[in-house]
Structure 1
């Protein structure tokens, strides 16, 4: 077992994973530098979500290695992986999985409360992120009273409140309209840059991928390329049309 390069906060080598006997990942290797925003692109069923789940410790690959800094995620037991996700990682999925009994600020503050933060400190931090995402006025509403776009923004706030070392974003703007998508992405990428958060972003949208420092593409569970934004024809890495 070989430790990852020093400048890679995440490193995966020859990942293999199967869903119902079919290969979802077939020998994928990659490294993610600290503070980098990496976009993982590819058609539906190409293995993007499976890759993010393996990198974040939600899934254990059948073969291969996943390292976070100098820690081998692939050989951790379930409790260690859960602790790693709680303390160092953030996750945004394509659907906002909020706790229905909690209001918006309580949902956003949940990771901090689970870490043992005081009620007042957790609420203050959660409210700051809800305000940044333009849903501060919804803080006392429960999920059923929120629009889909508002629920997704609360989910984004929940992922950012702990200032994670790595944020995994699996189609985070899928349920959003164009204007909402642009605002959420600006907040996410600005937070990543200002807080030195490493982001691994899975997306079907080529326009979303332009926000990344680098793009990796998957087809049928295999990595097919790695591009800097300047190498992709017609892309502008510095802006997103709104």
Structure 2
């Protein structure tokens, strides 16, 4: 097992994963430099979400390696992976999952407060991001009183307020109307660039192409088109067609 190149904050080699014997990922390799905004595109069922879940430590690959900086995520204990996700990673689902008993600002501030940030400071940061996402007026409302699009914006604010090292955004604008998608995507990418956040963003179409640094595509759990696979030493080896 060899550590990845120093300039890659995330690095994966030959990832495979199957659900009940049905392959979801087959030999996927990639490296993501610090601060890069990477789009992972492909049709439904292509393995995009599974890839993000393996990279973030939510799933352990059946084989292959995942590294975050110098930490081999694939060999960490469940507690260590949970701590890594809580302290260094952010996640946005395609559907909003909020704590129903908490207000919008409390939901947005929750990751900060779990880290020990003072309630006053966490509240200020939560309000700042809710305002940026045009749901500041909903700050004192609970999720049941919000529209789905508003709840999704709150979940985006929750991920950004924590200023993670890496943000995994799994089709974050799926519940939004087309007119709102660009604004939310621009908020995510602008925040990433201003705060040095590395972003992996899944999508089905080409709406993010002008906002990201690079795109890769998955088809049936494989990299589509020419790809550069890391070799056993962690260096770029040869171009392969997946």
CA distance in structure 2 between the aligned counterparts of 1:225 and 1:34, rounded to whole angstroms: 24
CA distance in structure 2 between the aligned counterparts of 1:200 and 1:210, rounded to whole angstroms: 15
CA distance in structure 2 between the aligned counterparts of 1:82 and 1:131, rounded to whole angstroms: 29
With 215-224 and 202-211 compared, the bigger mean Cα shift is at: 202-211
CA distance in structure 1 between the aligned counterparts of 2:200 and 2:83, rounded to whole angstroms: 19
Q: 1:162 deviation in Å?
A: 1.3
TM-score (norm 2): 0.92
What per-residue deviation string (whole Å, max 9, x for no partner) do you get for residues 141-170 of structure 1?
A: 000111111100000000011110000000
What per-residue deviation string (whole Å, max 9, x for no partner) do you get for residues 67-125 of structure 1?
A: 00010000001000000000000000100000000010000000001111111111011
The Cα RMSD (Å) is 1.0
Check the 8 A contact 1:15/1:61 in 2, yes or no: yes
- 2:6 corresponds in structure 1 to 6
Q: 1:223 deviation in Å?
A: 0.6
CA distance in structure 2 between the aligned counterparts of 1:200 and 1:34, rounded to whole angstroms: 11
- Residue 68 in structure 1 maps to residue 68 in structure 2: yes
> Superposed, which structure 2 residues align to 1:1-242 within 5 Å?
1-225=1-225
Q: 1:226 deviation in Å?
A: 6.4
What per-residue deviation string (whole Å, max 9, x for no partner) do you get for residues 195-214 of structure 1?
A: 01000001102112332111
Check the 8 A contact 1:14/1:64 in 2, yes or no: yes
Q: 1:126 deviation in Å?
A: 0.4
TM-score (norm 1): 0.92
Give unpaired runs (5+ residues) of structure 1: 228-242
Check the 8 A contact 1:38/1:215 in 2, yes or no: yes
Give unpaired runs (5+ residues) of structure 2: 228-242
CA distance in structure 2 between the aligned counterparts of 1:106 and 1:118, rounded to whole angstroms: 12
The number of residues matched between the two structures is 227
- 1:234 corresponds in structure 2 to none
CA distance in structure 1 between the aligned counterparts of 2:226 and 2:180, rounded to whole angstroms: 28
Specify the SS of the correspondent of 1:207: coil
CA distance in structure 2 between the aligned counterparts of 1:209 and 1:58, rounded to whole angstroms: 27
Q: 1:225 deviation in Å?
A: 3.2
Q: Which contiguous aligned blocks of 4+ residues in structure 1 show a shift greater than 3 angstroms?
A: none
